[in-house]
Structure 1
Amino acid sequence: MLKGFKDFIMRGNVVDLAVGVVIGAAFTSVVTALTTSFLKPLIQLIAGGSGVNPGTWQPREGVIFDYAGFLNAVITFLLTAAVVYFLVVFPLNKLAERRKRGEEPPPAAPSEEVKLLTEIRDALVRQQVAPGAVDDILGRHREPPR
């Protein structure tokens, strides 16, 4: 069950969707800050409503261009994007790259028995021993066919 969940999470589509949602939410705050910090006061100035002194383009006390709020939203967005990139996207890209290259842990070393049998086989091949002689060397006795 956990392997299936891991495979589901490691799919590119799921990770891309999650990153897109997080970055989209962070960018929404930047757009909202831009609107409330600059566009709303600008519209108040252009419309000549209660936010502008009559006959001048100087804003009244009620109109404030909140550039600090906008800068705060931009910095928050950049920090969020950096954290998502370095903690999610970068490690998963490295993992996918390793999988593409086929890097897997090296196979376990063969046991001593396997090494010994391999040496015996190689020695027999070098000596070109007759097929039945192998059983004699190893102490095996074949039963004759009936």
Structure 2
Amino acid sequence: MRGNVVDLAVAVVIGAAFTNIVNAVVQGVINPLVGAFGTKDLDHYKSCLKGPCVFDDKTGTVTEGVPIMWGTVLSATLSFLITAAVVYFLMVLPMSKYLARVAARRREREGTQEVLEVSELEVLKEIRDLLSERRAAEGGPGGGTAGETGGGI
């Protein structure tokens, strides 16, 4: 759970930090490229939903009609997509690769510990077998001294 919260926090911080840069790229590069097919600014792309739209040139407000400002929505969408791509490729993807490597190393260590534990178990079984052979050679379960038999084990 903590890893997901950290990932989310990093994404929010980096996204906020890159907002100004991304907005400048969209306004300075992408909008003029898209605007090459029409007006020079995406904010000027609009349609009128009801009646003819009349704009006040001084204030930029609508005096008549209902405009749909789809150029502004397109500009905001491009800003979002660029921000998301930067956050994903510069933060999320490298972090997930790093976490995958850490998990693989942990699995390797755990696998090595299992092998060691199995080996230790095998050694203990061999010791047990040797002790029981020794007891049998010395005269059965009661043979030998009390210290050698482990006190009734």
Q: Could you say which TM-score interval applies, normalised by the shorter chain?
A: 0.3 to 0.5
TM-score, length basis structure 1: 0.39
Q: Which has the higher strand share?
A: 2
TM-score, length basis structure 2: 0.38
